[in-house]
């Protein structure tokens, strides 16, 4: 029996609808500032999508498009200005930055109360300590999809495959917040396949195309595939296609539910960014966070 396909695109659309309802209930319009440096085509596409959905949900989109040769000090100065701007509730610096710019230094300049990507050291510290703060978008989307599919996650064994600071580690902490028993597995884990087979919830996030095979998956498990990898097309010469970290077709015959790539975790990232912007606005301005944003 084929696994249930977890439709991240549909969930993200519902979440954006909840964000729009929440915005309407607020005393003022939240503002999201996005900083794009250089001409990277993929980054330009992401920024356009973020701006589009920001406006569609009723918030203000504040875009700063900067040349690739901007000095690091000038970029840091802009971030500091945005920190001080009372009309800006969230700040996002689109990564990767052009060569020569220290992304760590720039990101650390973002005030944690406006860190809607959840990438600063302060945000990571708040997450690890269980304190109120803005959570990383992609890992939050993973938890949302798992919870929507399985309901209460308490007591589930979650195996996160990957230990990156962007996805693996924060995902593990967020599933721990849901009272899961969490294992972080990685390239040096002994007998990796057997560790993955223990998972009720398997979250591959390593960036290696189709690494996770069907026999790595516990029958009936929920698989949240974070990987987005571009590989040569099998049908069209010279073209490429997107695949996840899971060998999707065979995995469907074993898993109970699984996210596709594309259309799984990916769409959740922007939707969670918009949710974070509303939460940031509420925390900064002393408003109650609308309950419609709970999950």
How far apart, in whole angstroms, are the C-alpha atoms of residue 126 and residue 123?
Answer: 5
Q: Which of 89, 94, 115, 245 is catalytic?
A: 94
Active-site entry in 117, 200, 225, 245: 117
218 is catalytic: no
Look up 94 and say whether it is catalytic: yes
Residues annotated as catalytic are 50, 94, 117
């Amino acid at each position: 029996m084929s696994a249930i396909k977890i439709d991240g695109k549909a969930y993200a659309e519902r979440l954006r609808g909840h964000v729009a309802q929440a915005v309407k209930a607020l005393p003022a319009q939240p503002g999201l500032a996005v900083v794009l440096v250089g001409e990277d085509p993929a980054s330009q596409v992401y920024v356009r999508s973020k701006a589009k959905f920001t406006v569609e949900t009723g918030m203000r989109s504040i875009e700063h498009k900067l040349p690739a040769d901007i000095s690091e000090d000038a970029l840091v100065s802009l971030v500091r200005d945005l920190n001080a701007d009372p009309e800006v509730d969230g700040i996002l610096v689109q990564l990767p930055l052009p060569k020569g710019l220290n992304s760590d230094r720039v990101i650390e300049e973002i005030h944690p109360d406006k860190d809607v990507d959840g990438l600063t050291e302060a945000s990571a510290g708040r997450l690890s300590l269980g304190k109120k703060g803005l959570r990383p978008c992609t890992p939050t989307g993973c938890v949302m999809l798992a919870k929507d599919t399985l309901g209460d996650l308490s007591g589930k064994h979650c195996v996160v495959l990957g230990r990156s600071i962007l996805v693996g580690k924060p995902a593990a902490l967020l599933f721990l917040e849901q009272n899961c028993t969490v294992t972080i597995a990685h390239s040096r884990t002994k007998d990796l396949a057997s560790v993955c087979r223990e998972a009720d919830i398997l979250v591959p996030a390593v960036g290696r195309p189709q690494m996770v095979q069907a026999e790595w998956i516990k029958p009936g498990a929920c698989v949240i595939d974070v990987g987005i990898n571009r590989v040569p097309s099998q049908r069209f010469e010279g073209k490429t296609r997107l695949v996840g970290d899971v060998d999707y077709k065979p995995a469907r015959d074993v898993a109970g539910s699984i996210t596709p790539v594309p259309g799984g975790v990916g769409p959740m990232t922007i939707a969670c960014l918009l949710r974070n912007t509303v939460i940031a606005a509420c925390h900064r301005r002393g408003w109650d966070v609308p309950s419609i944003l709970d999950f």
